[in-house]
Amino acid sequence: MLQRFAVIATSLTLGLSAGAYAAEDHTMSVLEFRNAIISAMQSEYEGELCVKRLSDDSFRAGPKEDDCEYYAYLDSAYAAYQEAPVQGADMIGQTATDYVRLMTAGIDETNFEERLVVQLRPTSYMADSDKEEDPLEELVARGFAGDMVAVLMLDSAETLAAVSAGQLAEHGLSEDRAFQLAVDNTRARMGEVHVDEYRKIDFMSSANGLISGQVWLPETCNAQSRDAVYFVYDRNGIMAVNLDNVLGISNLIAVANGLVVQGESLTSSVIRCKSGQWTQLWPSQSAENLTLSPNLPG
């Protein structure tokens, strides 16, 4: 899955061979798998790619040396490889080809209004956008709760692209209207939601990788919704516990703390919905910063 976001990064080169990895008689680690894909992309692309490592199973890349505007996440591709490692060379080659094609062609904006969704991201996600001198280049997002913002994105089967103010203007949409459209679209494009219970915590993901948007939807936290605690630990992974489940909440905070300390979590705050209001539960913070309304303009 590629996600587009306008950022700048330095170019890195890797002297790695996808063929060499595939020829080895052991299953590649996720790090080797990632590096092999990057190497195959660099071999296929005629120019000099911008590449920046993010984690063992992700990286940023772009079609220009100084422009790494695409995020590549390999968890699903690596899981498929583990199921059939003998097909590793073909998988690496196809993934690299797809990524280069997507970066070269750019983001498809057909059916723009029908594809607008919202995803929760940490406030740090907006850091590069906030530096843009042209307001039209700034990404469209609204404050949510904890360390999160609700980012307007354009969804497709292959990409998830953050939307800029300029794109809204080109399609004749106001920010308010775009977020209104995103409510129904996020519901419709969510796909099947998978729930696994462990240590009294519900671990949730969605078939289409949009689960963080479910936390943002208005029905998740209103006067009629359940009181619950949530932690967005991955772009397609959230933890949820009912507010009356004291042991579950304790377990959730312990898991969240471990992930945050290790730098392995997408966000770094546990949020709580109580009586239709979002507040930050952990880490604790001053009362005046607790309540945020994600559904109001601005």
Residue 295: pLDDT band (50, 70, 90) is very low
pLDDT of amino acid 156 = 92
d(CA 251, CA 153): 32
Q: Is the pLDDT of residue 291 over 90?
A: no
Q: Which two tokens stand for residue 109?
A: 């904006």
pLDDT exceeding 70 applies to what percent of the chain?
85
Q: Is the pLDDT of residue 20 over 60?
A: no
Q: Which amino acid is at 238?
A: I
pTM for the model: 0.81
Q: Is the pLDDT of residue 78 over 90?
A: yes
User: 147, 166, 189: which is the final residue of a domain?
Assistant: 189
Tens-place pLDDT, residues 90-139: 999 999 999 999 998 888 999 999 999 999 999 998 886 666 667 778 99
Q: Is the pLDDT of residue 232 over 80?
A: yes
Residue 67 falls inside a structural domain: yes
User: 189, 209, 244: which is the final residue of a domain?
Assistant: 189
Average pLDDT, the chain: 87
Residue 207 falls inside a structural domain: yes
pLDDT of amino acid 3 = 62
Residue 76: pLDDT band (50, 70, 90) is confident
Q: Is the pLDDT of residue 197 over 50?
A: yes
Q: For residue 200, give its domain range.
A: 193-289
Tens-place pLDDT, residues 44-70: 998 889 999 989 999 999 988 888 889
The CA-based dihedral angle spanning residues 211, 215, 220, 222, taken in that order and rounded to the nearest 10 degrees: -160
The CA-based dihedral angle spanning residues 226, 200, 208, 223, taken in that order and rounded to the nearest 10 degrees: 10
pLDDT of amino acid 10 = 26
In the chain the first and final C-alpha atoms are separated, in Å, by: 30
For the chain, the domain total comes to 3
Judge if 197 and 185 occupy the same domain: no
Give the residue carrying structure tokens 């196809």: 94
User: 165, 189, 213: which is the final residue of a domain?
Assistant: 189
Judge if 138 and 120 occupy the same domain: yes
